[in-house]
Copies of this chain bind each other. A is one copy, B any other.
């Protein structure tokens, strides 16, 4: 390490880099399980499916954690990325909408292992409230504000029908939640300072359909666009 520059950490990691850090993290974790102590940018990039220069530039935004001629220490890099992403602390997540998707999410084990704790599951339907899902009792949406406050929920997940999504989002925001993950097919509007990310399967399928049609149309020449990512 021995860096003379006390590493100012320029305040501001590019958004594109932030989106890739979790991918690197997963690649590194698979290396740990295999017992690999160090890894070069080339190897790691190959596992993560990115260009090695891009990977190095991404990591350089966190600091200078590699050793020239050797590579990166896997454990140390896992720690640094985790810290940067805020995964050294636990985050409480609340899910609204205990339907098909909400239940699948609640039942999914892959969140807890990464520091995301599902603190509560809400629904508006009295027939659903009280159901036991993944060890949680479904709560009534009217208790959202209380629960958010008590459980210190910082991330809200919306898995309700589209028509209810904006209303649920507003309630999350006024309860103090500043990060929202939205599965409903609507554009949410939120005040500044609140982050919204959306997961829209229908859009994904439509994008695939677009490219599929292009492949079928006349110019079925080369692999023109190829794999979008790895």
Contact = CB atoms under 8 A, between A and B. Distances in A.
Contacts of A212: 86, 91, 154-155, 178-179, 195
A70 interface: no
Interface in A188-224: 188-213, 215, 219, 222-223
Interface stretch (A53-61, A105-113, A136-144): A105-113
A187 B47 contact: yes
Interface string A77-120: 00000001111010101000000110111011011001110000
B227 A192 contact: yes
Interface stretch (A18-26, A34-42, A124-132): A18-26
Contacts of A204: 181, 197, 199
Q: How many copies does the complex hold?
A: 2
A188 B230 contact: yes
Contacts of A49: 187, 189
A53 to B, nearest CB: 18
A10 interface: no
Contacts of A1: none
A150 interface: no
Given A85-B206, A189-B227, A199-B199, 17 more contacts: A11-B219, A21-B210, A22-B206, A85-B213, A87-B209, A93-B205, A100-B104, A110-B202, A111-B201, A111-B205, A116-B202, A189-B230, A190-B227, A192-B226, A195-B208, A196-B227, A197-B208
Interface of A: 11, 18-19, 21-23, 25-27, 47-49, 84-87, 89, 91, 93, 100-101, 103-105, 107-108, 110-111, 114-116, 154-155, 178-181, 185-213, 215, 219, 222-223, 225-230
